[in-house]
Structure 1
Amino acid sequence: MGAVAHLSLRDIRENDLAARLAENAGDDCPRTWDGWQCWPDTPAGAVARRPCPDYIYYFTRPPTCPRQAYKQCSRAGTWYVGPGGSEWSNYSTCSTLAVLQTRVKVHLAAHVVSVAALIPAIVIFFLYKQLRVPRVVLHRNLFLSLLLNSSVVVAFLAVVMLRDDRHARIQSNSLGCIGLLLLTKFCRLTSYMWMFCEAFYLHKLVASAFAEQRSLFVYYAIGWGFPINPIILYASFRASHANDQCWVVPADPYEWILNTPCLIALLLNLVFMINILRVLVTKLRAANTHEPSQYRKSVRAALVLIPLFGLHFLVTLYRPAGVACHATELYHHLNSCVDGLQGFFVSLAFCYFNGEETSSPREFASMLNASRASTRVSGDSDRIAKERDDHTPQPTP
């Protein structure tokens, strides 16, 4: 009975299609179903366009900017037939690949700029002994964590995300791919922890009347040791409950294992920043300093501390919803730049534009030039003395 009803329904559909074909012969391409969606009657020689349905993206997120598929109606009133001999609809315009690749390339370029800026800065920190004070040692470790983070991100994007065989690599779920992803997450956690150490140290320095702390063991434990624990916990849950696709696709419940320490560090850094500014303003008022230049210096100091404490991440912490699609793309590019260029900005603020750090290479160059000049003067003196001796008449015996 079901088979008879099914055949009857098929016959009805075929008869209806034949009737519409006869009615629209030579004028329009008849409405049709291509397996994804319905296409309306379309005039001969025109192009039909339909919004890309969300379900064609399967488990990936649909694009923020609406896209359209299209279907060509020939002048004869028939739909375009593909190489396979059947009607063909073009859904290639629905792909988000080009947009995603642009995001990845912007992110990659930002991290490359940071790597190029961080390497000379770290060399300067290691090269000069006068810079080996606790404050600069903290800067050096933060720079190292940022360099490792940017380098590993560049490697992951280049080796996995920008390769032509990226889908095969991700689906293979190999240990090498998973290990590289975990390394990116570990380095990112270390950078957040060292940002926290910078804020905590400066806050403690200001609160204790600028008395430097000699032992940095606690800071090393927080910066390099603590991130191991969330990484081990995260890897255990992912391996047990979401062990697929090289762990590239976030598993929302477990991502909070890594996100929570970062958010706590940012919030604490914000509290430290506010209290540091409060102490500075209090000291200025206590000194009866009413000069605007002093307050301007305080504001500049606060602005310099923003990338050091990671507070610039608060700008893109919330992703706006319900805005224009192009604004959403702008947000993604801004987020990539804010994340990737942190190493570049802290290098400028705390190395290249910092008088103490830049004076060391200048002093070394001055000493080197002075040494060369003294060597030349000494050589010239010896040569002149020798010539004088040669021209001095010797006494006769």
Structure 2
Amino acid sequence: MVEHDYKQLLDIKDEEQCISSLGDAVSPPDDGYVYCNATFDSVLCWAPTRAGEMASLNCPPIYSLDATKHATRRCGDNGMWDGRYPGDTSMGPQGWTNFDKCFIPQAKILVERYFGNKTEEEVEAMRSTLRGTRTLDMVGLVLSLLAVIISLLIFSYFRSLRCHRTRIHRNLFVSIGIQVILRLAYYIDQQVARTSGGEIAGSAVRSSGIIFHAPIVCEIHLALLEYSHTVMFMWMFIEGFYLHNVIAVSVFSGKPNYKLYYAVAWGVPLPFVAAWVYAMSTSYNQSCWELYYYDLNIWILEAPRIAVLAINLFFYCNIIRILISKLRSSYSNEEQQVRKAMKAAIILLPLLGMTNFLVMMEPPTSTEGFGAWSYISHFLVSFQGFFISVAYCFLNGEVRLTLSKRWERHCQHLPAHASSKRRLSRSLSIFTSFTEVSHGSSQQNKSRTPSTGNGVPLLRDLATISESHTRI
């Protein structure tokens, strides 16, 4: 059994560097026995080994591998490195390294399920999918973060937009923003580890001194990530609860009980996350809880989330049913009814978390199925904050009207400030007339602003069906 320093592994990138690192050991002893030549398998550097014997090295200290275990390879009786089984020379002089004992139990299950019994081309396609979805994740998370920040600024700055409905939206945006920041920090942390501490086989080494490799800090980070994730689901539940009650149950159409909402959304996840952290700390032995999503303890968190989605699915179906019945009683033709119902159905999907159903499903094991599932699920989840912000802020009729009025007011002030002294009198008269028009229209628009305690906001949040300036 041969141990190695991870820094030595980082220095070896090819066969030539491997041979150089072995020094005098690169030449087999002259003892009359047949030896397999020194070789580099793209990760580990193997010294010459006597025919018929098994060589062993410590597993590389990277994610999902146990560095205390050993990788092995066998030198065949003919002095050639064996392939996957004794006597197999199909892999040429380089041979094959058995890393099976290196994988932690969860990683071994994944490898066998998704990489077992696949050709090299299929394995490379799976790896390409994983790299592509990571890039997609980063793009989606960055856009979602920017979108929710802008939405929060808009809803917080304009007094006319501060109502019951947008107050719930703001809390949902905050929970999404926190989760996105924590996920981005996790991804950036891994990238920093690769550039600063080095990487082996595309993974950062464990001794790179980053968050991911500081167990306590990493576990706190994951606990916060899962807490924010559950909080987001709870605010989606409250979105569905509020919207459904405004539409279907008039007795709840008064002022919402925000103390109850805050207690449910920010408080209910705490005991579930605390129970999960305790279970992981006492029963899960992997550093930084690697691949914890494939451990049974995850159901402590997933069960309430699935329950929330199931309830929201009921809200979703009932809301669409009521909407369709209202559309049928209107004077619009059938084509318009179908189009408006489809808009409402689509715009409600991300708000109520329906897009999360796909990511909770078991991924297909086939190369094509896994690729389709990965890209679709990662797209829906990473862009979720962006979709919600666009539908419920940027394309919302009230928001667009408020921003439009503010822009018009800004443009009306420009001539007065830019005018010369020679035309001051004329400019002031123009400015005065503009101001009067602005105040008059502002009062008129204010009188047209619907109350939030009745069922009027319903269709405005369902793609603003009765207004022409909201689009999907």
- One fold, TM greater than 0.5? yes
> What's the TM-score, normalizing by structure 1?
0.72
Which residue of 382, 388, 395 corresponds with 1:340? 382
- Superposition map of 1:49-198 within 5 A: 57=103, 59=105, 60=107, 61-62=110-111, 64-65=114-115, 100-160=130-190, 163-164=193-194, 165=197, 166=204, 167-168=206-207, 172=213, 174-198=215-239
1:39/1:50 contact within 8 Å kept: no
Deviation per CA, 1:71-116, whole angstroms, max 9, x where unpaired?
A: xxxxxxxxxxxxxxxxxxxxxx99x987655543432232112112
Classify the secondary structure of the residue corresponding to 2:193.
coil
The one-letter code sitting in structure 1 at the alignment partner of 2:284 is A
Is 2:345 aligned against 1:310? no
Q: State the alpha-carbon separation in 2 of the partners of residues 223 and 154 from structure 1.
A: 23
Alpha-carbon distance between aligned partners in 2 of 1:99 and 1:49, rounded to the nearest angstrom: 27
Aligned-residue sequence identity (percent) comes to 25
Distance 1:291 1:116, change over 3 A: same
Q: Paired residue for 2:260, among 197, 218, 231?
A: 218
- Tell me, what secondary structure is at the counterpart of 1:163? helix
Q: 1:248 and 1:368 mapped to 2: Cα distance?
A: 53
For the residues of structure 2 that align with 1:341 and 1:384, how far apart are their CA atoms?
Answer: 51
Q: 2:344 aligns with which of 292, 301, 317?
A: 301
Q: Does 1:365 align with 2:407?
A: yes
Give SS of 2:291's match.
coil
Does the 8 Å contact 1:181/1:248 carry over to 2?
no
* TM-score (norm. length: structure 2): 0.62
TM-fit CA distance, 1:296: 2.0
Higher-Rg structure is 1
Cα gap change, 1:282/1:170 in structure 2, threshold over 3 Å: closer, same or farther? same
Instruction: Choose from 322, 342, 352 the match for 2:394.
Output: 352
Distance 2:426 2:343 in 1: 56
Q: CA deviation at 1:211?
A: 3.2
Please tell me the root mean square deviation across aligned C-alpha atoms, in Å.
3.7
Distance 1:302 1:171, change over 3 A: closer
Q: Distance in 2 between matches of 1:162 and 1:305?
A: 38
Deviations 1:221-272 (A, max 9, x none): 2222211121111111111221531123216221111111111111111100
The residue type paired with residue 264 of structure 1 is A
Q: 3-state SS of the aligned residue for 2:257? A: coil
SS at structure 2 position matched to 1:318: coil
**Which of 1 and 2 has higher RCO (CA within 8 Å, sep 6+)?**
1
One-letter identity of the residue aligned with 1:329: G
1:289 positional shift: 5.9
What are structure 1's unaligned runs of at least 5 residues?
1-12, 19-28, 70-92, 386-397
DSSP 3-state at the match of 1:311: coil
Q: 1:383 to 1:99 in 2, by over 3 A?
A: closer
Note the C-alpha offset of 1:305. 0.5
SS in 1 for 2:362: coil
1:267 aligns with 2:310: yes
Which string of whole-angstrom CA distances, capped at 9 and with x for unpartnered residues, describes residues 38-92 of structure 1?
243569xx678879785564532317346679xxxxxxxxxxxxxxxxxxxxxxx
Q: Which amino acid aligns with 2:260?
A: V
